[in-house]
Structure 1
Amino acid sequence: MAREIVLDTETTGFDPKTGDRLIEVGCIEIDDLLPTGRTFHAFVNPERSIPADAIRVHGITDDKVAGAPKFGEMCEQLLEFIADAPVIAHNAAFDRNFINWELANCGRVELHESRWIDTLQLAQGRFPGMANSLDALCKRFKISLVERTLHGALIDARLLASVYLELKGGKERVLDLSAARGPLTAAAAEAATHGARPRPLSPRVTETEAEAHLAFLNAKLKDRSLWAAYGLAGV
């Protein structure tokens, strides 16, 4: 599969058109649905104060971003990291609106809507009528939230990368039978999904018991024995 970028943002509010700004962006690079280890993270000076309600969500204060670069000063690094990869986000319209507003504000080309993959829409298609927030999906897929005391762009991007893996098939991908990977044998497929087959127990029937059982079949059932029909009466 192609290289993809999982992205999350933190902001001063809900709508850049009403004066809200981006204050943090975090990205995780994935390849074939697995993190490569490459990340991008930056705090951004929003050139305005951060409301108390927003601080309660992500814990980012005015002091924390006072010395951070403005978006126009770091957007080149962000765009180089994303390059031409699809961008994955949860409730993607929110992150796309802020990223594109900031790009347009500094004269850069926006990331077209067609490049974005919305994991919220993927989750709603798979779990209609259920809670599909990032927290809810992590709990549903048993993804640990231990490090997430507050929202954070890079932490949330890491969690979202794990959620995206599960939404796209999760650990079942080990059964990929593409020519590039080579076909799996029946034994390998069994081991990949259920673990190695345990060694069977040795028979506990004594020779005397086996002879008595055979005598019973011959005397009582004769040709009506299920085992006799398969030539196994003496087994």
Structure 2
Amino acid sequence: MNGKNYRQQATAAEAQILDSLQGRLVERARARELVDVAYRVVDSPVGALLLASTDAGLVRVAFESEGHDRILEVLSERLSPRILRDKSSLDGAVRQLDEYFAGQRHGFDLPVDLQLSTEFRRQVQLELGHIDYGRTLSYAQLAQQIGKPKAVRAVGSACATNPIPIVLPCHRVLRTDGSLGGYLGGLEAKSELLKLENPDFASGAATLF
């Protein structure tokens, strides 16, 4: 066995040991009810996504561009410092996201926890889940849909601060002129999600559909 192969095997063995230790740590922490927020990081066509959950449900989906370490700090400050990485958690969310990106799922069936949002923003963010797959609304249309037609700017802010993007699809909300507007994960990610759902979508000056 040459030195390179030995190092590769040693690295793989070390990774298995670390995974085993991590698993035991998670089991013990959960048994003692010491975990308030569990998280894991998964790959996706729009980059690595950090998924975090509480006992109430999915509390955060974060794009890599947001800085996962910073997101964990925010969760620690606003929710609880008892946060633990758990590869075995969030299996339902991971499966549904995989199905979504494969074009096999058009809606999510997951419990969500919107405690990071204010009452008004929760109203807007929950309404996002009622925008059909492959369709878009303007911020003004969304404001009208929740019965507050003058709150267009506040609706835009609620979309911009949506803590559970993709699952609560704020990417389906555009400006009135059809331009993308803002997006937490960046405009490239927003455009990719819209194209995934509707290949006829063209970013820039799209017609609302």
TM range (shorter): under 0.3
Q: Normalization by structure 1: what TM-score?
A: 0.22
Higher gyration radius (CA): 1
Q: Normalization by structure 2: what TM-score?
A: 0.23
